[in-house]
Amino acid sequence: MVNISMNLTEINRTDGCLRFSCPERSVATVIYVLSYVSAAAVVLLTVCGNLLIIISVCHFKQLHTPTNMLILSLAVSDCLVGVFVIPTALIWMVESCWLFSSIHCLCYISISYFLTGTSIFNVTLIAVDRYFALSKPFLYTKTVSLSTMCIVVLSNWFILLFYNTALQYFNGHFTSLVMCTGDCFLVLDEVWSLVDLLLTFVFPLSVIVILYGQVFFIARKHAIAIRDLNSHTRTQTSKNMSDSMKSERKAAKVLGILVSVFVACLLPYFVYSLLGNVVQIEVESFQKVLVLVYMNSSINPVIYALFYPWFRRCVKLIFSLQIFNADSELINVHLGVK
């Protein structure tokens, strides 16, 4: 992530450390308890929702497709955000103070930067995948196999792990972490701030916007082609081609919703990052937009539940324990799905 942390810290820092002590709780006990209940519900939704996606894609062979490997990768990163990042972030926001140790701060920053970056590039790869599948369907089928996509996914994780390790090492996060009461921010120098902004926001967002603009343009052409096909011929071949094109258009539309929500959750954070260079940003405001970034990991399973009938069917099979039956991985999860 980028340089808002530097601005927040430098604006308020005096004599090398923040003159800050954790404030006493000022809200009513009922609101305080409800805040923690809501936080627990968000964590539960994030972890369990993404676990259902992971189990579904891993267990049912019908879902072993290249695109679903990207969805699986996104669900894994989202699930890990729910386990390691969201609980700490919500406690920090509810208490308006960092209550944990400097080691916990180091781990929190390292993990959150890595997993957030991984999610960003997973969504970018989904945009690339959909564009390639719709613009070059025959070449896509021929060149993009399950094993190829697995290599792409693993490469994405390892490259981002290397990048985030370098980012924090060269900014002294591992060697000279300054931890003050109530404070847990990574300070980036100007060069790394610019590099991080370009690599983790400007570049992936540009790719997502440009490619999904192309995807919806192609989907519109497909819709016109389907109408012409249906009006001129009624052969079985034309029906199969029409169904295939409809399926691709529907997949592009649903993944477009996923991408749009993702960008909406990230955009406020990066706007704050840019504003942090010229105006003073309050720590509380920064925490809220940061939590919005993490909340995207909670929203994704809801999108799948609303728009993917196969996911709803998989959830029913999981909760009814039918996945423990013999040959359950061969069940047709697209049965009755149009």
In a domain, 26, yes or no: no
Residue 337 covered by a domain = no
Query: What are the beta bridge partners of residue 327?
Result: none
What pLDDT, on a 0 to 100 scale, did the predictor assign at position 338? 46
Residue 160's pLDDT is what? Answer: 94
Domain range enclosing 278: 4-13+34-330
Find tokens 């627990």 and name the residue.
Answer: 40
Domains held by the chain: number: 1
Cα distance between residue 205 and residue 9, in whole Å? 27
CATH number at residue 179: 1.20.1070.10
Instruction: Give the pTM.
Output: 0.82
Separation between Cα atoms, residue 182 and residue 96, nearest integer Å: 8
Domain assignment present for 336: no
Instruction: Provide the pLDDT for residue 19.
Output: 45
Burial of 78 (0-12, 13-18, 19+ CB in 10 A): buried
Is 166 within 8 Å of 84 (Cβ atoms)?
A: no
Model confidence pLDDT, tens digit, residues 229-249: 666 655 554 455 555 555 556
On whether residue 91 sits in a domain, the answer given is yes
Burial class (CB in 10 A: 0-12, 13-18, 19+), 175: exposed
pLDDT tens track for 134-166: 888 889 988 999 999 999 999 999 999 999 998
Q: What is the pLDDT of residue 41?
A: 94
For residue 273, tell me if it sits in a domain: yes
Q: Specify the residue for token string 């890990």.
A: 80
Residue ranges of the chain whose pLDDT lies below 70: 1-26, 174-183, 222-223, 225-255, 273-283, 335-338
pLDDT at residue 304, rounded to an integer: 79
Check residue 4 and give its pLDDT. 40
Measured distance CA(99)–CA(181) in Å, rounded: 8
What are the DSSP calls for 119-181, one per residue? Answer: HHHHHHHHHHHHHHHHHSHHHHHHH--HHHHHHHHHHHHHHHHHHHHHHHHTTTTTTS----T
Q: Say if 19 falls within a structural domain.
A: no
| Coil/strand/helix, residue 14 | strand
* 273 contacts 185 by C-beta, under 8 angstroms: no
**Residue at 115 is within a domain:** yes
Report if residue 252 sits inside a domain: yes
